Structure 1
Amino acid sequence: MKNIVVLASGRGSNLQAIINAIKEKKINAKISLVLSDKKEANALKIASENNIKSKFIDPSFFASREGYDIYIAELIKKENPDLVVLAGYMRILTDKFIDSFEGKLINIHPSLIPAFQGLKAQKKAVEYGAKFSGCTVHFVTKELDNGPIIIQAVVPVLPEDTEKELSERILFYEHKIYPQAIKWILEDRVIIEGRKVVIKNAKYGTLPVNPALEDF
């Protein structure tokens, strides 16, 4: 069985979506560890409720971002993960951490990368007057929110949208495309060629999700 480690800072809704997919036997894997940089993160509560080992690692105990990342990287390596999943993890990772898990470190971002990278992507889309936004699952590289794209979902931006309303519409698809991407990776269907990612036997050219969802 494949093994996943999750890093999360907040409410843990994507973590819950992944747990649900595992319980429904759509993903043949286990989550062996959830780590958080926030003591009050709801993700830690979700992990505990599902009997998943979880830890809060306080960044204030470390003199530098590098020191923190070296420490958590060693904790993760002990789990021998097949995949490291960022699920609302709000810290910018150092280069050494990214190097440690190159090719098996993924993130979900609430925009259609390369648009609206960084924080408050939904707010940026509303304020910019974008007509479409969405979400992107991508491999993590040293350039923030700019790694090779696995799957994207398109969501319309309505004239009366607030940041909260657009965020909720995007979140609906986050909970579908993130478990789907994880399933594909753990089934060894993902081929990375430079910036281009191809899913073997997937259906391309579909909307609102490309490539098409298969299980979610």
Structure 2
Amino acid sequence: MTHKMPAVVLASGNGSNLQTLIDLKSANKLDLDIKLVVSNNPEAFALERAKNAKITTWGKSHKSFESREAFDLNVIAEIEKAGILSNQKLIADGKDITKSSQVGCIILAGYMRLLSTAFIQAFSGRILNIHPALLPSFAGAKGGLDALNYGIKITGCTVHFVDEIMDHGPVIIQAAVPHKAGESLDELMQRIHKLEHRIYPQAVQWLAEDRLSLKDRVVYLKENSKSEKLASLGNQELSFLVSPPLEKF
């Protein structure tokens, strides 16, 4: 692997998906260069994970800013310092001084804040999120719990592009798991998280390879003759369905 897609990860809590990305990046299995980890929670363990991996961090409470947009504008400035420029045109003294941007991405990994319109427009088409349910069902902060309480038999996780509506953007990849009657939320989420840690890096890798395209809300994956599809995760106890099919890194 040669080209590494620059990325910024936004996280609010434990950062297990971040750790998966760090581990795969360190093993040279992912075409990713994490430039910065941002959190709206200065105590988030995700920041510790980043520091342990010698990744630059920025953590400030959103409560110390006067508005959602004010916080996000500060985050945008930090992201641009990290080398991932926004899509916004830069005008000074009446002249367009917009810089050529590196093709990077913003990865939301348990980021418990709605992004402002300003942020989404700044990085339009380059923001990824993962949600612990099969969208469009059970959107929102408690997707896993809402699905369980509803009595579903199948749930899972979804990686999608982010737009201005919560958990609404075009779907890149989904993975399904069964819910067993009487199973606790923790038991269910353990299996969902296992798949999150597989499909999120997969989506990131496809983006890094410039194989994703979008038309009328449908995300298309360009075939790659060098990619080897996987039949399973190698765990017979884990019943699942993943679409598009997983590939070997």
TM-score bracket relative to the smaller structure: over 0.9
CA distance in structure 2 between the partners assigned to 1:194 and 1:80 by the alignment: 31
1:163 is aligned to: 185
Deviations along 1:63-119, one digit per CA (max 9) or x if unpaired, are: 111111111111112223301000000001111111110010010000000000001
CA distance in structure 2 between the partners assigned to 1:75 and 1:138 by the alignment: 24
CA distance in structure 1 between the partners assigned to 2:171 and 2:136 by the alignment: 10
- Percent of aligned pairs with the same amino acid: 44
1:201 is aligned to: 223
The number of residues matched between the two structures is 214
Compute the TM-score of the two structures, normalised by the length of structure 1.
0.95
Does the residue aligned with 1:184 lie in a helix, a strand or coil?
A: helix
Matching of residues 74-89 of structure 1 within 5 Å: 74-81=77-84, 82-89=104-111
**Residue 60 in structure 1 maps to residue 63 in structure 2:** yes
Gaps of at least 5 residues in structure 1 are: none
Q: Which amino acid aligns with 2:175?
A: A
More displaced 10-residue stretch of structure 1: 194-203 or 131-140: 194-203
**Residue 70 in structure 1 maps to residue 103 in structure 2:** no
Deviations along 1:166-189, one digit per CA (max 9) or x if unpaired, are: 111100000000000000001000
Cα drift, residue 62 of structure 1: 0.8
Runs of 4+ off more than 6 Å: none
Q: Which amino acid aligns with 1:208?
A: L
**Residue 41 in structure 1 maps to residue 44 in structure 2:** yes
Deviations along 1:134-186, one digit per CA (max 9) or x if unpaired, are: 00000000010010000000010110121211111100000000000000001
Whether the 8 Å CA contact 1:107–1:140 is kept in 2: the answer is: yes
Which of 142, 149, 154 matches 1:127? 149
1:137 is aligned to: 159
Compute the TM-score of the two structures, normalised by the length of structure 2.
0.83
Whether the 8 Å CA contact 1:4–1:83 is kept in 2: the answer is: yes
**Alignment RMSD:** 1.4
2:34 is aligned to: 31
Structure having the higher helix fraction is 1
Q: Which amino acid aligns with 1:210?
A: S
CA distance in structure 1 between the partners assigned to 2:31 and 2:62 by the alignment: 33
2:247 is aligned to: 214
CA distance in structure 1 between the partners assigned to 2:37 and 2:201 by the alignment: 16
CA distance in structure 1 between the partners assigned to 2:163 and 2:54 by the alignment: 31
Cα drift, residue 125 of structure 1: 0.8
**Residue 176 in structure 1 maps to residue 179 in structure 2:** no
For the pair shown, which has the larger CA radius of gyration, 1 or 2?
2
CA distance in structure 1 between the partners assigned to 2:77 and 2:216 by the alignment: 28
Does the residue aligned with 2:160 lie in a helix, a strand or coil?
A: strand
